[in-house]
Chain A
Amino acid sequence: MTTKKIKKEGIAKLLTEWGQEFTVFVPSREEGVAKWSEWDGKGSGFLDWYRNTVVPPKALFLPPMETMFSFQKEGDGYHTELPPAAEKGWLVFGIRPCDAKALAVLDMTFKDAYQDPYYLTNRQSGLLVGLVCTSPCDSCFCTSLGGGPDDMANVDLMLTQIGDQFLMEAVTDKGSKLMAKTKLAQAATKANETKAKKAKELARSKVTRKIAVDGISEKFRASFEDKDYWEGVSAKCISCGICTFLCPTCYCFNISDELLKKHGERFRSWDSCAFPLYTKMPMENPREEKWRRLRQKVCHKYEFYPYSFEVIACTGCGRCIRLCPVNWDITQVLSNLPDQEQVRLET
């Protein structure tokens, strides 16, 4: 595999070059909160922050608020208009392996029964340039879920920091083409590649939080009816939306129409299964109790998604653990699943 390298100072020029063909998104920081925004064309200072963002890159493809279409009264009917298509494809620069894997997990839902154009258009038109995660947090547990801070599987191009340079490795054809085109990067040496390999191994070794996921779906199903367990672990949850909104694989959304006098818009916005009213219907609310909602949240990620798509809908990014106001910890919940043979649900 051809590899190239580029100096840290050269990244800004590289992004400018790529910016001609793509809209470039990078991590950005506002009031101490790291999230993803369009690159302002200025520097590459974000490369100095070695931790992952608070708001995941899913917020680019599935934004907190998104106009689906607008409508205008015209005579007896309505004229609808879709939002303008993006001019250029999207290049997401600096995405971590956990978040890249999460996008791959999300893809499965948005390609399933209905091909969601709002999500897929930008997803398919661009590419992901990943960054190996050299300083995982103590809340990260990506290595337990088949990924890792060096996992190259879901990006088009991967960068690994080696001193004041970055090693570039192409993963997909898209990535190869992009890497081949640029003259700003030079061919990498064997020494560079070895250094990068060591950096990746070191990064992997820093992930200390681990859970056992072999047979987790089975274990989960076995504990499904254990009301005492689920009531116990959910007692401290306050039913806010932090874990679900900031989770890179959560995708529940709400659709609402806003009507003005003669025109309006239909919006899609984030929703959370943790909210008490999430399943409220006119006659009943099947998840009125908090423990049912929490059980469902874990179930969706570790049992139902694997059942539907053969992959766990969690990539171990640890945001839910880090940002929860009551330090609810999914790894604890999963590690302590009661070992009961009571009820086995039919699969």
Chain B
Amino acid sequence: MIIYKPKVIVFCCNWCSYAGADLAGTSRLQMPPYFRIIRVMCSSRVRPEWIIRVLRNGLDGVMVLGCHPGDCHYQTGNYFARRRIALTKKFLEYLGVNPKRLQASWVSASEGGKFAELVTEMTHELEKLGPNRLFTDESGGNGTETTP
């Protein structure tokens, strides 16, 4: 039974993970339909501002997907992303943000199944966790939606 619809933003790199997502779609794999993909050229394009903005705008989770280490279209992008996401995730956890809200993985162009699995699992985990109320504030702060 769906309690609420966990909205997840999935950043997919253009080369591997977006193709993998595409494959999941063409293979008609069943996935919860509450995620939205934002395609970037490389996983290293993902800035911490984006991750935090997703949470600020009241969405429930962020997933960052890239090519497997060694397979990055730009050789080394995913290595930098790996470092950046690692410390972002630990820092957010230290502040009290549930680590399940920021997840990362490597998805190759042929891993349609893995993509579907990742998205499905994350959605279920966030369902159990409950909606993101981190930035809501009864008195004065508009927490759930900001500039489109």
B-facing residues in A97-153 (Cβ within 8 Å):
none
Q: Is the interface of B mostly helix, strand, loop or mixed?
A: loop
Q: Is A82 an interface residue (CB 8 A)?
A: no
Chain A interface residue count: which class?
A: under 10
* B148/A259 in contact, CB under 8 A: yes
B148: which A residues are within 8 A, CB to CB?
259, 261
Q: Is the interface of A mostly helix, strand, loop or mixed?
A: strand
* B145/A258 in contact, CB under 8 A: no
CA distance A259 to B57 in the complex (A): 13
Among residues of A, the one whose C-beta sits closest to the C-beta of B144 is: A260
Q: Compute the total of residue contacts between A and B using a CB distance below 8 Å.
A: 12
Interface string of B123-148 (1 = CB under 8 A from A): 00000000000000000001001111
Shortest CB–CB separation between residue A67 and chain B, in angstroms? 8
CA distance A258 to B143 in the complex (A): 12
B-facing residues in A150-167 (Cβ within 8 Å):
none
CA distance A56 to B145 in the complex (A): 33
Instruction: Count residues of B near A (Cβ-Cβ below 8 Å).
Output: 5
* A261/B145 in contact, CB under 8 A: yes
B146: which A residues are within 8 A, CB to CB?
258, 260
Among residues of B, the one whose C-beta sits closest to the C-beta of A265 is: B142
A259: which B residues are within 8 A, CB to CB?
147-148
CA distance A260 to B146 in the complex (A): 5
Shortest CB–CB separation between residue A72 and chain B, in angstroms? 13
A-facing residues in B74-110 (Cβ within 8 Å):
none
CA distance A265 to B148 in the complex (A): 14
B145: which A residues are within 8 A, CB to CB?
260-261
Shortest CB–CB separation between residue B7 and chain A, in angstroms? 15
B147: which A residues are within 8 A, CB to CB?
258-260
A258: which B residues are within 8 A, CB to CB?
142, 146-147
12 pairs of residues in contact across A and B, judged by CB atoms under 8 Å? A258-B142, A258-B146, A258-B147, A259-B147, A259-B148, A260-B142, A260-B145, A260-B146, A260-B147, A261-B145, A261-B148, A265-B142
Beyond the given A260-B146, A261-B145, please list 8 additional residue pairs across the A-B interface where CB-CB is below 8 A: A258-B142, A258-B146, A258-B147, A259-B147, A259-B148, A260-B145, A261-B148, A265-B142
